[in-house]
Amino acid sequence: MSRAEVLVSAVAVVRDQAALLPEFLGELSKLLAAQFTHSEIVLIDNGSTDATESAVRETLRRIPGIRYLRLTRPTDEETALVAGLDAAIGDYVVCLNPDFDPPSVIPGMIDVCRSGADLVVGVDRGSTPPGGAYRFLRQRFLGLVRRFLDVDLPTGTTGCRALSRHAVNALVQVRQRRRYFLLVAADVGLVAKQYPYERISRSGAKPHTSLLRGLRIGLSLLVHNSLVPLRLISVLGLAGSFLSFLYTLYVIGIYLFKKDVLPGWTTLSLQVNGLFTLAFLMLALLGEYMGRLVEETTVRPLYHTRPEVSSAVDLSDPERRNVLGKSDDGA
């Protein structure tokens, strides 16, 4: 079988995965060499504290085409992937999880990309259905996203994805610190397709969904990508002000038309407490947005890396290079 004349970059974010990296890198390197004439492997070390760095450096002596970048401090996985996308030079870039994603999915995902898709997102066919509460909240959240952000987010997706060079160039220009990959891709306007596959587990651990993590991501997504919560608080503030005005008219009416009115301490206390609660809620959300503005306007890079190291062995196939003279256009 002939190899595809394209340059493919395989990007993997690793963290404390020294035990499984030799097997993963060996399998990945063999597949890339068999399927594509030009390839590279980009490893982003997201703050490993075990022997991951030593394991990678040992592998560099045996397997060609590996580039290893270690972040100076841990960050979230989406930001670490941006570091990988920045470093990748391929016509097509595939993002993999070393523990759960089999390299065998790469040729199929690249074929879908070459057929015209900007982005191919993996969907786990064997995932365990989440609990009832999780499914209910997820459906309500997806409904809010469709209504307020005009984006239809897919469910059941994984971190395994393939991107064309056009998609990579578009996504790396979005330098948000709080980013959700599929939402950014939809906002950019990329043509996305899904790719069902079976996940594996090299370490024996199983990927799982967390209701608390889902709530945290959902709240962050809405706050950082929509003004709807702020507008909702504004509406509540106006409603509270209007009700307070009506209550003032009520108090004046009682004072004018009823004799011997005792001070309503309980009612006044409830009113003041309600207004203070509303005011503090508004201040809390405004503070969140101010924090977002400060974070986004701070002039500093998303990440820092230590000096890059590369494989120390020569390529066994002199025709298999990591650089193309002409980029593949997918035709």
In a domain, 37, yes or no: yes
Higher pLDDT, 109 or 191: 109
User: Which pLDDT belongs to residue 156?
Assistant: 77
User: By C-alpha distance, which of 95, 72, 98 is closest to 84?
Assistant: 95
Q: Are both 45 and 78 inside the same structural domain?
A: yes
Q: Are both 69 and 35 inside the same structural domain?
A: yes
Q: Are both 249 and 144 inside the same structural domain?
A: no
Q: Are both 156 and 259 inside the same structural domain?
A: no
Q: Are both 130 and 265 inside the same structural domain?
A: no
Q: 90 falls in which pLDDT band (50, 70, 90)?
A: very high
Higher pLDDT, 5 or 283: 5
User: Which pLDDT belongs to residue 20?
Assistant: 92
Evaluate if residue 330 carries a pLDDT over 60: no
β-sheet bridge partners, residue 14: 45
Evaluate if residue 317 carries a pLDDT over 60: no
Dihedral sign, CA of 29, 64, 76, 73? Answer: positive
Between CA 228 and CA 245 the distance in angstroms is 26
In a domain, 324, yes or no: no
Which residue type sits at 71? L
In a domain, 139, yes or no: yes
User: Which pLDDT belongs to residue 205?
Assistant: 83
Torsion, CA 77, CA 83, CA 85, CA 86, rounded to 10: 160
Between CA 48 and CA 4 the distance in angstroms is 34
Map 164-194 to HEC letters: EHHHHHHHCCCCCCCCCHHHHHHHHCCCEEE
User: Which pLDDT belongs to residue 147?
Assistant: 76
In the block, residue with structure tokens 């030009």 = 38
In a domain, 218, yes or no: no
Evaluate if residue 170 carries a pLDDT over 90: no
Q: Are both 252 and 194 inside the same structural domain?
A: no
pLDDT in tens, 215-254: 777 777 766 666 677 667 767 776 776 776 676 666 667 7
CATH at residue 126: 3.90.550.10
Which residue type sits at 270? L
7-21 average pLDDT score: 94
In a domain, 18, yes or no: yes
In a domain, 68, yes or no: yes
β-sheet bridge partners, residue 23: none
Q: Are both 183 and 88 inside the same structural domain?
A: yes
In a domain, 40, yes or no: yes
Given a contact cutoff of 8 angstroms between Cβ atoms, the answer to whether 54 and 14 are in contact is no
Q: Are both 27 and 165 inside the same structural domain?
A: yes
Q: Are both 180 and 238 inside the same structural domain?
A: no
pLDDT in tens, 33-65: 999 999 999 999 999 999 999 999 999 989 999
DSSP string, 217-267: HHHHHHHHH-SHHHHHHHHHHHHHHHHHHHHHHHHHHHHHH-SSPPP-HHH
Radius of gyration for the alpha carbons in the chain, expressed in angstroms and rounded: 26
Domain that holds residue 130: 4-209+304-310
Q: 310 falls in which pLDDT band (50, 70, 90)?
A: confident
Checking DSSP bridges between strand 309-310 and strand 66-70, what pairing results, if any? antiparallel
Number of domains in the chain: 2
Q: 331 falls in which pLDDT band (50, 70, 90)?
A: very low
Q: Are both 132 and 258 inside the same structural domain?
A: no
Q: Are both 256 and 127 inside the same structural domain?
A: no
Between CA 309 and CA 68 the distance in angstroms is 6
Between CA 162 and CA 247 the distance in angstroms is 60
CA distances 21 to 34, 199, 222, 276, Å, are 20, 17, 36, 55
In a domain, 21, yes or no: yes
**Averaged pLDDT of the chain:** 79
Q: 255 falls in which pLDDT band (50, 70, 90)?
A: low
